[in-house]
A and B are shown apart, each in its own frame.
Chain A
Amino acid sequence: MDLCPSVKNILLLDSEGKRIAVKYYSDDWPTNSAKEAFEKAVFTKTQKTNARTEVEIAMFESNIVVYKFVQDLHFYVTGGEDENEVFLATVLQGFFDAVDILLRGNVDKKEALENLDLILLCIDGIVDGGIVLEGDANSIASKVASHSIDSGAPFSEQTISQALATAREHLTRSLLK
């Protein structure tokens, strides 16, 4: 028996319930259509609720879903029936805050899609196979944002554009701190 607090999926949908980025860690939804059906059910049941100030919570098919909406983005984290609700809310808050940092406060669909690589890396950095890897939003975001050149590589190997990118990232990081 596995007692470790775990997450079954992380969903980021738009205001019509379409996927921005989703990641499943459980075999409960084996096919893409099962996943889509779950997303649709969750979206329709939650869309009318007001989850803009506080994280909200509901139960679906013996799963607990915590969610939060910002602009046209809907953030969800799902856990099993017996999971600690507060734990799931913490994961959601970490995800949400990290995205907020990565998108520099412009949390909306357009920005999210334009920075989809950051969002995907962010999800990858929060949970690995259902187990929380990192919960603190600042740590999550800083790992994602460290888009710099391998410090081991000599500068001579860098192209001009890479060097510019490095400079930009250094600037970003100093802004984030």
Chain B
Amino acid sequence: MAQPLVKKDDDRDEEADYSPFLGIEKGAVLQEARVFHDPQLDARRCSQVITKLLYLLNQGETLTKIEATEVFFAVTKLFQSKDIGLRRMVYLMIKELSPSADEVIIVTSSLMKDMNSRTDLFRANAIRVLCRITDGTLLAQIERYLKQAIVDKNPVVASAALVSGIHLLQTNPEIVKRWSNEVQEAVQSRAALVQFHALALLHQIRQNDRLAVNKLVASLTKGTVRSPLAQCLLIRYISQVIKESSFNSQAGERPFYDYLEGCLRHKAEVVIFEAARAITELSNVTTRELTPAITVLQLFLSSSKPVLRFAALRTLNKVAMTHPMAVTNCNIDMESLISDQNRSIATLAITTLLKTGNESSVDRLMKQITNFMSDIADEFKIVVVEAIRSLCLKFPLKYRSLMNFLSNILREEGGFEYKKAIVDSIVILIRDIPDAKESGLLHLCEFIEDCEFTYLSTQILHFLGNEGPKTSDPSKYIRYIYNRVILENATVRASAVSTLAKFGAMVDSLKPRIFVLLRRCVFDNDDEVRDRATLYLNTLGDGSVAETEKDVKEFLFGSLDIPLTNMETSLKNYIQDPTEEPFDINSVPKEVKSQSLAEKKAPGKKPAASSTPAAAPTSAADAYERLLSSIPEFASFGKLFKSSIPVELTEAETEYSVNVVKHIYDSHVVFQYNCTNTIPEQLLENVTVIVDASDAEEFSEVGTKPLRSLPYDTPGQTFVAFEKPEGVPAVGKFSNVLRFTVKEVDPTTGEAEDDGVEDEYQLEDFEVVAADYILKVGVSNFKNAWESLGPDGERIDEYGLGPRESLAEAVSTVINLLGMQPCEGTEVVPSNSRSHTCLLSGIYIGNVKVLVRLSFGIDGAKEVAMKLAVRSENENVSEAIHEIVASG
């Protein structure tokens, strides 16, 4: 008895490693593939070899071009066998090999024969293979069969043809569109899946014809839809129709809503969910419309299937962002899901509850979350932290328990991203909830006592330096900060020295003690730490209890109003040419560079053109500055204030593509015309733009710089300069004509003829507008900046903007009109809101900082009213901003 038992164990060991493909090798299998050439085909054997080949390809093995061709030709031999199993493997293999066009011809006739075979399975699969590997010309040959197949009485064949049609529509739309009669017939098919595939194809054929789509949807909602999949598809089409129609019909019953609601009672869960989701995603959905969908989703929450719970929760989570009240009914069900085995579901439950919870439930919720946090992954924890942050901002009175929660999790184990999310949240809460400041700062202090992340330590020290001195008892933070100088690495030490200096500068009573500490830092073994300590010791005065000077404070606390990348380039340039002159920080451009600007600069430029390295500068602002300063005529204009984004002066795809960049100086403007010649047979010479400035009275032309030669596909620039009154934001309209000498080019040799013809090309007009005189410059803390400017230069007025499409549209119009930088994400208007406040900042010509606070309101008739408050260093500038709005 013992004997077989042992043997069985052995067997199992072998079995564990056993695989029919063990030690399989490409070379050997390719050898084996020779059986495909046998005159007496062994179908079973051939199937096995194909399986092996497919296994190899599936494992990521690749065949060389020659190997693939060889295998392909061998496989085509197998069409001789009538074995269905083998044939199906042959089909699979051909699809996997994706043969080239000249190879396809070899199998076309075999496949076409199969397409007309009496075996349904052959017809269906031959269609799929042929459509996968075919190109346009071949498609025209087999089109007739495909049309027949679409209405074939065998559903497998019809589906194969329809699905192939869906794929072919991407590559050969004009051919597939001719099949719409057959597809239309297939939509009426009794076979469930055929109807689904036909519906998908028909909709794709007609998707640009809104009327046809409406008709299709309307007829299907009255007829019978046979499969859940087709029903889902119909629901998606309905949502789209509703979305597009809402622009036309203002009020009244939403079309097709009743149908969607009816789908909530469908027997298939997939349809119920699709309909519920569609209802929750309707734009401006009302609570009454939402209720039945929420009820259905609530039922899903207690389903035994994780997928249903997840799907329902994910949808409810989204609803909670806009309609938290509608979801509160599900709170009890969601609370029980906090302990769900599936952590994704549990996290979704938590974050949804945090959105829907009311003030009284916060404490109970926090208790549940605490237990939950210990056994989920960091990525989920970050989601929870973010949800808690927004909850705290919603219920500022609850800051105590939420702050405690954050500080507790801060002390626990966790990776950098997670810790960073917590620290960021605490910092935001301190900023927005004044009461939370003292306790929050202490939590952060405790955290840096034992923080392994240099980045977070320095961040917190910096923040502490700004906020700590303003608290009731600044001295209690000194211990934590000085501990960093003793215990941490050089980066953190240097940062701690700066923080100490800030306390010294702001709190006069602490100054002597700070001096003692800073003097110790002078003996640090790191350069940076020593340098900083010495610098601060010298700037802060003599260590006596005295008021710190204003510019010292400005130096310590003022933010660098120059983008760091600009600073870096300027410094690099400075180092490159050795000079006696000290570096002038004012020479650093303040314009925020944007990468996309440079990419947009040469539109219509074909990617094939490789010989234009100069046309792709890394940064537009930099490139403009360099370009303009290299032109002697413009050198006397002074410092460039702003360059606009390029304005297109031609339609896309015209002979010559031209756009203009407006460069604004204090008393000049320079128009830079970027021209591209898109005709290979032409060379343009002496290209200029004749500008008619009769609609721009304050401008007078002072010079032009023609472009000597503009070959095909190589962008070039020509410039026109105007004088305008100094410091005045003059506006006006300019019309333009491109003038040039055109020479024929022999495309084969690339040589131009000697004689040219003068020609002109009409360009579109453009305007210099007020926004061109305002630089987009953001501020990090709008509230502080606003208060620091004070009410002296403030101007407030109200405006009616008339009826608008939506609040968001009105907000973006005003932002574009002013050309200023939206701050703190206030350019985004939550949907459905009836009022909105938008914060903007910028620099007005003459380097005057301007801040704008816009309050919008919209009424039932979509009339928008706006209150505009402007603060700036100069009240005339504030007036000017109002001027812009009043005249815009």
Contact = CB atoms under 8 A, between A and B. Distances in A.
A136 B688 CA distance: 70
Nearest to B305: A54
A88 to B, nearest CB: 8
A47 interface: no
Contacts of B43: 162, 165
Contact of B163 (A120, A133, A162, A165): A133
Contacts of A54: 304-307
Interface string B171-198: 0000000000000000000000100010
Interface string B46-61: 0110110011001110
A53 B18 CA distance: 27
Contact of B119 (A58, A85, A151): A151
A87 B229 contact: yes
Contacts of A146: 84, 121
A19 interface: yes
Nearest to A3: B236
B207 interface: yes
A101 interface: no
A3 B203 contact: yes
Interface string A41-64: 000000001100011111100000
Given A57-B342, A85-B310, A85-B311, A1 B207 contact: yes
Q: Number of contact residues on A: which range applies? A: 35 or more
Interface in B261-297: 269-270, 273-274, 277
B88 interface: yes
Contacts of B166: 4, 129, 131
A117 B273 contact: no
A76 B207 CA distance: 32
B21 interface: yes
20 contacts: A19-B60, A54-B304, A54-B306, A54-B307, A85-B311, A86-B270, A86-B273, A90-B270, A114-B20, A117-B54, A120-B51, A120-B92, A128-B163, A146-B84, A147-B85, A149-B83, A150-B87, A151-B118, A152-B117, A162-B43
Contacts of A129: 132, 163, 166-167
A84 B232 CA distance: 9
Given A19-B58, A66-B307, 20 more contacts: A3-B233, A5-B232, A85-B273, A85-B311, A86-B311, A90-B270, A109-B19, A116-B20, A131-B197, A133-B159, A133-B160, A134-B193, A135-B229, A147-B84, A147-B85, A149-B83, A150-B84, A150-B119, A161-B44, A165-B85
A90 B50 CA distance: 30
B232 A135 contact: no
B515 to A, nearest CB: 54
A86 B44 contact: no
Interface string B78-110: 000011110111001001000000000000000
Contact of A57 (B95, B119, B156, B310): B310
Most chain B beta carbons < 10 A, residue from A50, A88, A162? A162
A55 B307 contact: yes
A43 to B, nearest CB: 15
A124 interface: yes
A132 B305 contact: no
B704 interface: no
Contacts of B269: 86
Interface in A54-83: 54-59, 66
Nearest to B91: A124
B92 A124 contact: yes
A35 B57 CA distance: 13
A110 interface: yes
Contact of A148 (B84, B122, B274): B84
B795 interface: no
A56 B119 contact: no
Contacts of A85: 273, 307-308, 310-311, 314
A160 B371 CA distance: 69
Interface in B523-543: none
Nearest to B45: A161
A174 interface: no
Nearest to A154: B82
A175 to B, nearest CB: 17
Contacts of B193: 132-135
Nearest to B55: A116
B344 interface: yes
A121 B88 contact: yes
A58 B344 CA distance: 6
A113 B314 CA distance: 37
Contact of A152 (B15, B83, B119, B344): B119
B297 to A, nearest CB: 12
Contacts of B82: 149-150, 152-153, 157
Interface of B: 15, 18-21, 42-44, 47-48, 50-51, 54-55, 58-60, 62, 82-85, 87-89, 92, 95, 117-119, 121-122, 128, 132, 156, 159-160, 163-164, 166-167, 193, 197, 200, 203-204, 207, 228-229, 232-233, 236-237, 240, 269-270, 273-274, 277, 304-308, 310-311, 314, 341-342, 344
A121 B92 contact: yes
B240 A55 contact: no
Given A117-B47, A150-B122, A56 B270 contact: no
A116 B342 contact: no
Contacts of B20: 113-114, 116
A1 B236 CA distance: 11
Nearest to A1: B207
A57 B341 CA distance: 11
Nearest to B227: A135
A72 to B, nearest CB: 9
Nearest to B114: A150
Contacts of A157: 82
A132 B239 CA distance: 22
Given A146-B121, A149-B82, A151-B119, A86 B307 contact: yes
B84 A49 contact: no
Contacts of A3: 203, 233, 236-237, 240
B233 A4 contact: yes
Given A84-B273, A113-B21, A114-B20, A5 B233 contact: yes
Contacts of B58: 19, 21-22, 120
B200 A32 contact: no
A137 B311 CA distance: 23
Interface string A136-177: 000000010011111111000100011001000000000000
Given A5-B232, A149-B84, A150-B84, A19 B306 contact: no
Contacts of A87: 229, 232, 270, 274
A57 B128 contact: no
Nearest to A161: B44
A150 B310 contact: no
A135 B132 CA distance: 21
Contacts of A84: 232, 270, 273-274, 277, 311
A89 interface: yes
A177 to B, nearest CB: 17
